[in-house]
Each structure stands twice: as structure tokens, then as C-alpha cells.
Amino acid sequence: MTKNGHSLKKVISRIAYLSLLVSGLMGACTTAGSTANGVNWIFLAVAVVLVIALGVILGWLIKSGKFSQLSTAGINANKWKLEERKLGGQKDDIQAKKESLISDLGKKAWTAKVLHPSYAELYTNLEDLDAHKSALVKETQQLETALKQAEDSRTKITSEYAKQISDLQSLVRDVEKKLDKSRSQASKLNKDVEKILKEQDKLLAEIAENQDKLAEVEASDAPDKEAQAEALVSRNKTLEGSVGETREKIADFERDIAKLEIEQQPFEDQIERLSAQISTVEGDQQEALTPLAQRINGLEADLAAKKAEVEGLQEKMPPIIQNLGPLVDAARPESDALSGEYQKIDQASASLRDLTQEHHLIKARLDTTDKSTVRNFYLMVAGLLILLVLIVFFFILAFV
């Protein structure tokens, strides 16, 4: 290291030492030099001393030429570092752009079907994969058509059988209405019969009671027993006539009920036949739909497998197409579809070369920079900043 370098380090170390010494004495001087509502002369004196020290050091640095030398070296080093980072970023951007252009070149070569012997094997592999994918897509379309036809058939069969079942159920409901009406009439007649039977029981009970009274009257010595007996006999005759009428009514009702029951039997038989027909139609529907359901399930499974194969090929082809780009760029087959892409890649390559040269030049400048001089610049700036901060700090304490 040069003599001037040792002197600068010595001065900077003294600045740091002085800064630390002043900081250590700050606490001890806080109370001793303060006056009530006045200026703290101790802190003011320290601030003045630091200002003088800062002036002396700056004067020495400027007079000796160290300030200019160190500032120029430090500023240039920082400027070149920033420029080096900037150029590095631009290189990365252009490199990424170039790689993207080469990748797109492979896609466009494949789309335009530009073949060259240097990448014939890779191109043939892509053609085989594409042909396989096209065949799978065609099979997928056929399966989709077959699946739709099967689903349409299932819908049609379901609709036809549903209509048959609906028609039969409608007939069942019509017959059930007739049967319910007949049963309702029979129920009403049965209730009427029960009502008349109750009336008849009352009449018979009254007749029996009158017979007992008649026996008592005939056995008595009452002066008017003949009149009483005639009245009871006459009443029983009337009651017996009423009983006869009730019996006739009951007989009529029972005949009507029997007719209704005879009428109900065909309805019940018809409902039973219709229910059997519905069961038969439902069985036929199930028998017709079962193979269709099995076919639909099979077609859905086959379709899912084919779509998975197509997706697998769609994922497999792009990386191969991307790998085709560098081969096409290296071979540069003649093609109107690719000539513009060649120009873009060449422009990117030229820009990349120019930036690389500039980048190497800046790195060379950085490599030739005196590291110790740059380090001394940072030490000088740090020391001066510490002194400046301490000066401001002590001036503030002096007047607070």
C-alpha cells in the first residue's frame, strides 16, 4: 500500500476514534455544562471542536488531492457497477427474447411443414404423434356420435313406454272412480239398512213390551181391562205393520247392495288386468333399456379413455416442437414462412453480441479499479458523515 494510502487510513481512523470518544463523553457532560433555560456550553464547545476538525480534515483531503482522487474512484466504481447490472439485465432480456423466437421458430416450422434432413428423425416423430392424435380425435368423434345415438334411443324408448304406462294408469284411475262411486253407494245403502234395523229393533221391542202389558191387563180385575186390551192389540197391529214395512225396505236395500256388489266385480277385474299390463310394460321397458344402459356406459368409458390419450399426446407434442426450434435455427432451411423469423433471431443475436461486448468492457474497467482506493472512499464518506451527524447532534443538545 502507498504512503498516501496509509496517511488517509490514519486520518479516517482518527475521525472514527474522535467520534467514539465524543460519544462516550456525551453522558458525562450532560449535567455538568447545562444551565437553566440557557445554552449548554460544553455541548456547544464540542460541536465547535468537531466543526473545526471537519474543516481541517476536509482541507487536508482537498489540498492533498485525496478528496478528488477518492471521489472520482468511488463515483466511477459505482457508476460502472450500475452500468454492469443494467447491461446484465438487458442481456438476460434479449437472451430470453431470442430463446422465445427460437421456440416460436420450431412451432412455425412445424405448422408450415418445413422439413430438413438434419432434423428429419424428430420431425418424423412429430408426424407419427400427430397422425396418432388425428386418428384418436376421429375415433373420439365416432364414439361421441354413437353415444348420442344411444342416448337418443334411450330417450325415445323411455318416452314411448312412459306414454303406454301413463295411458294404462289413466284407465286405472277411470275404473277406480267408477268402483269408488259404486262402493260409496253400497256404503250409503248399508248405513240405511243399519238405520232401519235399529228402527225395527225398537218396533219389536215395543211390541214385546205391549204383549207383556196385555198379559198383565188380562190377568187384572180392572173394570176397563177390555178397553185397555183392545188398545194394546190395536197398537201391536200397527207396530207389526211398520215392522213389515221396514223388512220390505231392508229387502229392497239388500237387493240394491247385491246389484252394486255384482257391478263392482268387473271393475275390480279390470283394475287387476290393467295393473298386470302396467307391470308387463314396465318389465318390457326395463328389458329394452338394460342393454342400452350397458352400451352407454361402455361408450362413456371408451370416450373417456380416448380423450385421455388425446390429452396425453397434446401434452407430449409441445416440448418436442420446442426442441425443434434450435435444430431449425441451426439448419436454416429455405422457407418464405420462416425467413422473417430468421431475421428477428439474427437481430437479437447481433444485439446480444453488442451488449456482451459492452458488458465485458465494463467488467474489465471494474476489474482494473483499485479496490483499496474504492474502500478508502467509502471509509472517508462514512467518517465524514459520522462527524457531520455528531456536529448536528451536539448543536441540538447545546440549545435544547
Mean pLDDT of the chain: 80
Residue 22: pLDDT over 70: no
Please give the pLDDT value at position 20. 47
Separation of alpha carbons 165 and 77, rounded Å? 95
Q: Three cell numbers at 78?
A: 459505482
Residue 236: pLDDT over 50: yes
Please give the pLDDT value at position 355. 78
Task: Compute the chain's Rg from CA coordinates.
Answer: 60
Which position has the grid cell 462527524? 387
Separation of alpha carbons 353 and 349, rounded Å? 6
Separation of alpha carbons 172 and 164, rounded Å? 12
Q: Three cell numbers at 112?
A: 408450415
Percent of the chain with pLDDT over 70: 79
- 176-230 pLDDT, tens digit per residue, is 998 899 888 888 988 988 998 998 889 889 888 888 888 887 777 777 878 888 8
Residue 398: pLDDT over 50: yes
3-state secondary structure the chain: CCHHHHHHHHHHHHHHHHHHHHHHHHHHHHHHCCCCCCCCHHHHHHHHHHHHHHHHHHHHHHHHCHHHHHHHHHHHHHHHHHHHHHHHHHHHHHHHHHHHHHHHHHHHHHHCCCCCHHHHHHHHHHHHHHHHHHHHHHHHHHHHHHHHHHHHHHHHHHHHHHHHHHHHHHHHHHHHHHHHHHHHHHHHHHHHHHHHHHHHHHHHHHHHHHHHHHHHHHHCCCCCHHHHHHHHHHHHHHHHHHHHHHHHHHHHHHHHHHHHHHHHHHHHHHHHHHHHHHHHHHHHHHHHHHHHHHHHHHHHHHHHHHHHHHHHHHHHHHHHHHHHHHHHHHHCCCCHHHHHHHHHHHHHHHHHHHHHHHHHHHHHHHHHCCHHHHHHHHHHHHHHHHHHHHHHHHHHHHHC
Higher pLDDT, 273 or 43: 273
Separation of alpha carbons 400 and 30, rounded Å? 11
Burial 18-34 (b: 16+ CB within 10 A, else e): bbeebeeebeebeeebb
Please give the pLDDT value at position 11. 45
Please give the pLDDT value at position 21. 46
Q: Three cell numbers at 322?
A: 420446442
Average pLDDT of span 30-57 = 66
Contact 328, 116 (CB under 8 A): yes
Separation of alpha carbons 320 and 327, rounded Å? 11
Q: Which domains does the chain have, with CATH numbers?
A: 3-114+335-399 (no CATH), 158-325 (1.10.287)
Average pLDDT of span 264-279 = 91
Burial 69-102 (b: 16+ CB within 10 A, else e): bbeebbeebeebeebbeebeebbeebeebbeebb
Within 8 A by CB and 6+ apart from 376, the residues are 5, 8, 9, 12, 70
Instruction: Provide the residue type at 113 as one letter.
Output: K
Residue 302: pLDDT over 90: yes
Please give the pLDDT value at position 155. 93
Contact 326, 102 (CB under 8 A): yes
pLDDT confidence of 26, banded at 50, 70, 90? very low
Please give the pLDDT value at position 15. 47
Please give the pLDDT value at position 385. 81
Average pLDDT of span 33-59 = 69
Separation of alpha carbons 390 and 400, rounded Å? 15
Residue 18: pLDDT over 90: no
Within 8 A by CB and 6+ apart from 326, the residues are 102, 106
Q: Three cell numbers at 3?
A: 504512503
Mean pLDDT lowest among 90-99, 245-254, 271-280, 354-363: 354-363
Separation of alpha carbons 239 and 66, rounded Å? 154
**What dihedral do alpha carbons 246, 250, 252, 253 form, nearest 10°?**
130
- 354-381 pLDDT, tens digit per residue, is 877 877 777 766 666 656 656 666 666 7
Among 6-15, 218-227, 273-282, 369-378, the range of highest mean pLDDT: 273-282
Please give the pLDDT value at position 293. 92
- 83-137 pLDDT, tens digit per residue, is 767 777 877 888 888 888 888 888 888 888 888 888 888 888 888 888 999 999 9
Going from the C-alpha of 341 to that of each of 99, 107, 115, 327, the distances in angstroms are 12, 11, 16, 14
